[in-house]
Amino acid sequence: MTTIILNALSILLVLILAIVLKKIGLVQQKDGALVSKIVVYVTLPATILLGVNNTRLSSLYFILMAMGVCSNLVLIFIGKFLGRKSSIEERGLYMFDLSGYNIGNFSIPFVSNFFPAAIPFLAMFDMGNSFMVTGATQAIVESTSRKNKHGFILREVLGVLFRNPPFVVYVLMFILAIFGLSFPEKWLIPIQPMANANTLLSIFTIGLFMEFKLPQGKFGLVLKILFWRYILAAVLSIITYLFLPFPHLVKVVLLLIFFCPMSFLHMLQATEFGNDRGTAGLAISLSMFISLILMSAVVIFL
C-alpha cells in the first residue's frame, strides 16, 4: 500500500509542480503545446510500443475495443438525458464530459507504474475510445442538438486518427499481432529512455493545461457534471467487476479507465460547441484530481 500511495503522490507532485511553475511565470501554458508534442510524437508511442510488443491477440482484445466505443455511446446518451432541461450548449457539455477517457496522457502513465503488463488491454480499449473522442462524439452531439457544424465524416475522423502517432502505433502493433509477429527485444532497448520519460512529461503537460478560473454562475453545473460522471463510472465498474467474465487484471484495468479523467479533445469540442472555455477547463482540471484519488483507491483495494 505504501508503494501505491507514493506512486500516486509522485503523480500529484508533478501536477502541482507544473501548476506552481506556471503560477510563478517560469513556464507558461503555451509551453504545454511543445511538451505535448514531445509526448504525442516520442514518449507515448515508445511506451505503447514497449508495452504492446509480444502481444498475442484473443477475442478479449476485440471485446475491449468494442467496449471503448459502446461505453462512450451509452454515456453520451445518458448525458443527453441528464441535460434535457438545460440549454443546448449545457446539454452538449453533459454529453461531452460524461463520455470520453483520457487514456494516453493519464491512464497509460498511471497504469504503467503499477501494471506494465496491462498496457495491451488499455491499448485495445483506447482504439475504440479514440474513434469516439476524435470526432464521432462531436458529430453525435451536433446532430442530436440540431446544431450541425461538421457532421460525421468518416474520412475526417480517420484522418485525425492516423495523424495521431499513438494511434498509428496501436494499429501497427495490432497488425503485427494478427500475424503473430513482434519486434526483437534488443531492437527496443534504444527507445526505453523515451518510454521512461513518458509519465513525467505527460503529467507535467496536464498540469500546464489545467485551468482553475471560476466561471460566473457555472460552478454548480461543473459540480453536477462531475457528480454524474463518477456516479456512472461507479455503476459501470460494479457491472464490470461483478458480472463480466474477465480475468481480474482486465477488470482492474477497466475500472481504472472508467474512473480516469475527461478527454482534452472533448474540452476543445465543448468550447467550439458554444460553452465557456473556463467552464470546460475547470471541469477537466478538477477531474484530474478526483480521478487520481479514485484510481489510487482502485489499485489499493483491488
Write out pLDDT tens, residues 84-132: 999 999 999 999 999 999 998 899 999 988 888 899 999 999 999 999 9
Instruction: Note the pLDDT of residue 32.
Output: 85
Q: Is the pLDDT of residue 1 over 80?
A: no
Could you please report the per-residue DSSP string of the chain?
A: -HHHHHHHHHHHHHHHHHHHHHHTTSS-TTHHHHHHHHIIIIIHHHHHHHHHTT----HHHHHHHHHHHHHHHHHHHHHHHHTTTS-HHHHHHHHHHHS---IIIIIHHHHHHH-GGGHHHHHHHHHHHHHIIIIIHHHHHHHHTT--SS---HHHHHHHHHTSHHHHHHHHHHHHHHTT----HHHHGGGHHHHHTHHHHHHHHHHHH------TTTHHHHHHHHHHHHHHHHHHHHHHHHHS---HHHHHHHHHHHTSPPPHHHHHHHHHTT--HHHHHHHHHHHHHHHHHHHHHHHHH-
The C-alpha cell at 153 is: 465524416
Cell 474513434 belongs to residue: 131
Instruction: Note the pLDDT of residue 150.
Output: 57
Q: Is the pLDDT of residue 191 over 60?
A: yes
Domains contained in the chain, number: 1
Least confident of 50-54, 199-203, 275-279, 284-288: 275-279
Instruction: Note the pLDDT of residue 151.
Output: 57
Cell 457534471 belongs to residue: 225
**Cα radius of gyration (the chain):** 19
Q: How confident is the model at residue 152 (pLDDT cuts 50, 70, 90)?
A: low
Average pLDDT over the chain, rounded to an integer: 90
Write out pLDDT tens, residues 230-255: 999 999 999 999 999 999 999 999 99
Q: Is the pLDDT of residue 56 over 80?
A: yes
Average pLDDT of 261-272?
Answer: 89
At 222, which CATH number?
A: 1.20.1530
Instruction: Note the pLDDT of residue 93.
Output: 95
pTM over 0.85, yes/no: yes
Average pLDDT of 42-65?
Answer: 92
User: Which structural domain range is residue 121 located in?
Assistant: 2-301
CA 302, CA 293: separation in Å to the nearest integer?
14
Q: What percent of the chain has pLDDT over 70?
A: 96
